[in-house]
Structure 1
């Protein structure tokens, strides 16, 4: 429940954030983007406090939106937290600029700034530069690629000195 409250807060903050121009991917194929992504690193934020083993699962919906299911383990309580929402591309001229909603009617900016040629990694942020994630299809990422993405994020105005690597060593019990 705590996670859902923080997600709602995030969406509100996103909607109130001052938009600063932020370049995004020129082409995004949502079918290729669908599936499970592992959170490799992030800027600290309230709604993910203490969360490890964070994943985001995206799936296409019949109405053209994308179902979003975020999941992470609270490192203190050892309990899994989830948040479900949806995303959409509001302007097809800017396919890397999505709006995500976890608590309607509030929607936050989800900007795909960089995307691997084979959709093997993604770099996500917000125009406010307050939110930032590096995602991968694998639980680990090549250090050179990681460092390149951190450098790119720094060039785009993100405070990369605060970026934290996310522990992905949890073992999920079914």
Structure 2
């Protein structure tokens, strides 16, 4: 019972975050369209593509997390689909980090801790994206091991 309340709360929170991310995506695309004349066609199209990948990665991460929460509600979290979902989350987070690094690299910034090169700067948040994606990949491997152990135990009983 207590797991059900917690999982339903998390699903509701993911719904709110998902709506907020969709709103940010629409505002980002609207911003690109409104400032079309300032940026030019090539930069506007690139901005729209990067916005779709960036916010789409967040949205797909939330959608995939909801799938995992549904399997927890069914009291069957150790299934092969969750391994696939965790790996997808790792790829989504890694792609978000790479897009963030590409978009923000040419902007030299002297505030905070940054890695400055002669052409731009990398912010430390890229390491957070990499760490979170590695965490998702590690969790996928742990789930794979749990499934193998569960199948082995099922055969011995």
TM over 0.5: no
Greater share of helix residues, 1 or 2? 2
Of structures 1 and 2, the larger Rg is shown by: 2
TM-score after normalising by structure 1? 0.28
